[in-house]
Structure 1
Amino acid sequence: MTRFDQRDAVLSDLTAVRGLLALWVFAYHANLHLQFAGFGSLIGRGYLGVDGFFILSGLVLAHRHPNPSQTFAAYGGFWWRRLVRLYPTAVAMLLLLAAGLMVARFGGVRPHDAYRADGHEFTLQLLMLNGWGFSHGWTWNYPSWSISTEWAGYLLFPLLAVIVSRCDGPAVALGSVAMGVALLLLSSLSAPGLNLTYQGALLRFFPEFFGGILLARQLRLGLPWPLWLMAAIGIGVLSLGIWLRAMTTAGDAVTTIGLWLIIGTLAAGQQRVFGRLPALLTLGAISYPFYMAYAPVELIFSRAWGHWHLDPTRWPYLWLMPMFACVLALSWVTARLVERPALRYLAGHHQDR
């Protein structure tokens, strides 16, 4: 029996991977200001860290719910716990941005783009609908588009989990191949590759989320190849995808497939790899508020540096280190004062991480 076969097992490697993915996404966003790495680099592909989160979401939920109940009461309880997992942090960051905007307006400072503070967009984010194709751009807490798509996945998870729980090995393999092909087609036909946010986000999300659910089923049925081979292939495919992206947008899908294989290896392994690193475990535990805290801090930093006529590309570390420290601090405060109390008092002890 592997750790993955135990529903309540703590998969520390996956928590640490969340920390790594959060760092990758942060480095990508920071690079948009600092331009210290080319678009073809590993950092320039950091938007694919979100795709890793999508795979992990399906995998971990399917791990916690290997035999999903088919009653409406069970569905309601599941949806409530997932809402409590997402909503308090999302609303806290959105209200923080709204408060900052009000303070700025009283001080005579208005946003460069008035559309970024649009009331319609605020409502979409408040209802977690901004990633469903209704939004028109990067407004308010712009990373929340991915949280909106996660919510769509959670709404459909009970149905998807029931379907996958009835699949045998060949059906799981066929489904996994189909999800990979879907990602390759989407990535090849899309001008930005898989870097789809407000428009096309659901097309990006569901093959990866469903792929994570299928991966969980495959791990329970047993892998048809040794873990070392799966890990080696995953690392090779991921590296190939990063290299291919300089020539074709299909490289994004190849990179994501590599992530899928690596995540599966870490989930199935008996020995901890990244889970031995306390810093990554800590960051992984607060990866959601860390991801959501970027936009409020970035807005303040951008306006302050613009006011002082400073160029972040000339002083990259003077911008990067305080920025990282502030995002980390805000995420820690949010986890301690918002996320964890909400989970404890609203969702009870049965938390789906």
Structure 2
Amino acid sequence: MLTPEESAGRDRPSHPAKKALQSVQVMRGLAAVAVAIYHTHLILAQPEYGGLSLFGAVASKGWLGVNFFFVLSGFIIMFAHVKDVGKPARLGNYLWKRFVRVYPVYWIFLTLFLIAAYRGIGHPNFSWNTENLLSAYALVKLAEPLSLPLQVAWTLFYEMAFYAVFCTLILNRLLGTVVLVAWAVSILVNSLVLGHEPGLLQMWNDMWCAYFLIGVCTYFAFTVTDQRWGVPLLALGLVLLVLTASTLAGGRIGVTQKDPLVLLTLAVPFALILLGGALGERQHNWSFSPILLKIGDATYSIYLVHSPVITVVALLNARLASHWIPPIPLFLSTAIIAVVAGVLAHIFVEKPVLRALRDLRAGRRAVSQAAE
């Protein structure tokens, strides 16, 4: 997950491949909304929350936003750090940015969730085992199986694996290229040939990891493809998404991800949509709604808080409203509240935390320079 500046490319020199890409922000936001709709569908369908099954044909596919996140992440990391490749002196700055962007805000929301669970709010279904909780905080798999308090955090384990592998590119371009190619081969062999069951190494050789590499390849395709192909590629990606989502994607992410070939196939339309959208924006100078851009800015907070918020709304409806709210308004209002809560978390938690950490680092640099 990246800052708006990183994902838009505003922290880089303004040569043709580094102008702001607002389309990427919008895509991130739409992916987050899709995941929120998916979890609204799942949670409201639980018997304790009313057993409502609404918009299943569409809402049950919302988990595909996760697939899009992973492709976007590979693209954005390459986009933001391509100038760092082969420059070991920049590794520390890269690691700091990745740590600050992911961990502090996540730790805040994770701790709040654990406090709420300890007080008996909701229906927590995770293990309080020490190894499990340490895994949750470290985003490193130390226990098998995992039962995460914030269940959406499973994606962050893969994100951390990708960030770690990307370090090799910064240390040495040739070494990093070899490592990424070897990683891709390992993922394909492990997933498509060996068919290994999940284990402690799952976060390193699962087909989900291939999505990041597809995102990296999409970035390089973006730098060499004629911008006139943008709209056709975007249209092709959207058509393929409809076809693959309707024929290959099941109603539950846990079921579909057990078929690595299907998972790999589902990456193709997202790569085309990302490539086409970025190229199309460059050619046609598209502008986007400030609301969509704000949702894109708040993607990480939306992703972290939406599921607990949906659970709270469903719980309040079950206990206080006695299910008197009609199903469709309940579904729509719950999804909207979850997204708005994420935007507010971004404004009042995420942004202040990131600002404080930036100021802290700037202060330390100033002190260090003064001492020299």
Global fold match (TM > 0.5): yes
- Quick check: 1:212 aligned with 2:215? yes
Deviation at 1:261, TM superposition (A): 0.5
Q: 1:88 to 1:303 in 2, by over 3 A?
A: same
Which string of whole-angstrom CA distances, capped at 9 and with x for unpartnered residues, describes residues 201-259 of structure 1? 55133211111111111222335983333223222321221232179955543332101
Taking the aligned partners of 1:92 and 1:226, their CA distance within structure 2 comes to: 43
Contact 2:135/2:142 (CA < 8 Å) preserved in 1? no
Taking the aligned partners of 2:314 and 2:201, their CA distance within structure 1 comes to: 25
In the alignment, which residue of structure 2 is the partner of 1:9?
19
User: Which of 321-330 and 25-34 deviates more?
Assistant: 321-330
Report the residue type matching 1:24 in the other structure.
Answer: A
Deviation at 1:307, TM superposition (A): 4.0
Report the residue type matching 1:36 in the other structure.
Answer: L
The runs of 5 or more residues in structure 2 that have no matched partner are 1-8, 45-51, 251-255, 362-372
Taking the aligned partners of 2:213 and 2:347, their CA distance within structure 1 comes to: 31
Contact 2:37/2:62 (CA < 8 Å) preserved in 1? yes
Which string of whole-angstrom CA distances, capped at 9 and with x for unpartnered residues, describes residues 98-142 of structure 1? 22134x2xxxx476556455443322111112xx48353543111
In the alignment, which residue of structure 1 is the partner of 2:162?
153
In the alignment, which residue of structure 2 is the partner of 1:291?
303
Q: How does 1:19-168 map onto structure 2 within 5 Å? A: 19-32=29-42, 33=44, 34-38=52-56, 41-102=57-118, 104=119, 109=120, 112=123, 115-129=126-140, 132=141, 134-160=143-169, 163=173
In the alignment, which residue of structure 2 is the partner of 1:278?
290
Contact 2:40/2:335 (CA < 8 Å) preserved in 1? no
Q: How does 1:251-262 map onto structure 2 within 5 Å? A: 251-262=262-273
Taking the aligned partners of 2:203 and 2:326, their CA distance within structure 1 comes to: 34
The aligned length equals: 324
Contact 1:153/1:209 (CA < 8 Å) preserved in 2? yes
Q: How well do the aligned residues superpose, as a CA RMSD in angstroms?
A: 4.0
Q: Identity of paired residues, percent?
A: 21
Q: Secondary structure at the match of 1:65?
A: helix
In the alignment, which residue of structure 2 is the partner of 1:330?
341
Contact 2:158/2:208 (CA < 8 Å) preserved in 1? yes
Taking the aligned partners of 1:333 and 1:342, their CA distance within structure 2 comes to: 13
Contact 2:71/2:271 (CA < 8 Å) preserved in 1? yes
In the alignment, which residue of structure 2 is the partner of 1:244?
247
Which string of whole-angstrom CA distances, capped at 9 and with x for unpartnered residues, describes residues 121-168 of structure 1? 322111112xx483535431111111222122112213257658998x
Q: 1:344 to 1:92 in 2, by over 3 A?
A: same
Q: Secondary structure at the match of 2:19?
A: coil
Q: 1:14 to 1:225 in 2, by over 3 A?
A: same
Q: 1:261 to 1:69 in 2, by over 3 A?
A: closer
TM-score, normalised with respect to structure 1: 0.76
Deviation at 1:300, TM superposition (A): 2.3
Deviation at 1:332, TM superposition (A): 2.7
* Higher RCO (C-alpha under 8 Å, 6+ residues apart): 1
Q: 1:166 to 1:93 in 2, by over 3 A?
A: closer
Q: 1:235 to 1:69 in 2, by over 3 A?
A: closer
The runs of 5 or more residues in structure 1 that have no matched partner are none
Deviation at 1:284, TM superposition (A): 0.7
Which string of whole-angstrom CA distances, capped at 9 and with x for unpartnered residues, describes residues 158-211 of structure 1? 3257658998xxx9xxx7xx79x949x659x799xxxx9999555133211111
